[in-house]
Amino acid sequence: MDQQLLGTGFVNKAAIIGLNGGIWAQSAGFALSAEEAASIANQANGLPGTVLGEGATPVVIGGSKFMVLRADDNVFYVRQGADGACVAKTNQCVLLGMYGDGMQPGNCNVTVEKLADYLKENNY
């Protein structure tokens, strides 16, 4: 995770969450709670309806509520001010990559989605 996500310079915080909501790994200093991880896993398992439209649950990361920009069957994008995230689902886990002030959202998205594609190709 450190090399493939944080090491690129396009992601400043990251987490890998099992589809059951357990936190498998997270970057140092990332304040993602167990409740937030479980909620993100549930949202990823029911995309896009769990984050878009009536009855969608709010996306909360590190105690902050994020606005959903876009979602499809395997990925969704959120933002709050200068901070945002790409959340991508694979066969066994959910990748969460965040960006902050001065970082390009598109670079973060591409980085997270490429790793998700690699994991899916390898049945992970």
**52 falls within a domain:** yes
**124 falls within a domain:** no
pLDDT-based confidence at 54, cuts 50/70/90? confident
State the average pLDDT over residues 113-121.
97
Task: Tell me the two tokens of residue 55.
Answer: 């009855």
CATH assignment of the domain containing 77: 3.30.450.30
Q: How far apart are CA 107 and CA 97, in angstroms?
A: 11
**63 falls within a domain:** yes
Task: Find the angle CA(65)-CA(32)-CA(83) to the nearest 5 degrees.
Answer: 45
pLDDT number for residue 2? 74
The position carrying tokens 């400043």 is 12
**37 falls within a domain:** yes
**106 falls within a domain:** yes
**1 falls within a domain:** no
Percent of the chain with pLDDT over 70: 99
Is the model's pLDDT at 1 over the cut of 80? no
Q: Which of 123, 115, 58, 124 is nearest to 86 (CA)?
A: 115
- Sequence-distant (6+) residues with CB within 8 A of 7 are none
Indicate the number of domains in the chain. Answer: 1
Q: Domain residues for 72?
A: 6-119
pLDDT number for residue 88? 98
Is the model's pLDDT at 72 over the cut of 90? yes
Average per-residue pLDDT in the chain? 95
pLDDT-based confidence at 53, cuts 50/70/90? confident
Q: What's the pTM value of the predicted model, to 2 decimals? A: 0.95
Task: Tell me the two tokens of residue 26.
Answer: 């997270």
**71 falls within a domain:** yes
**88 falls within a domain:** yes
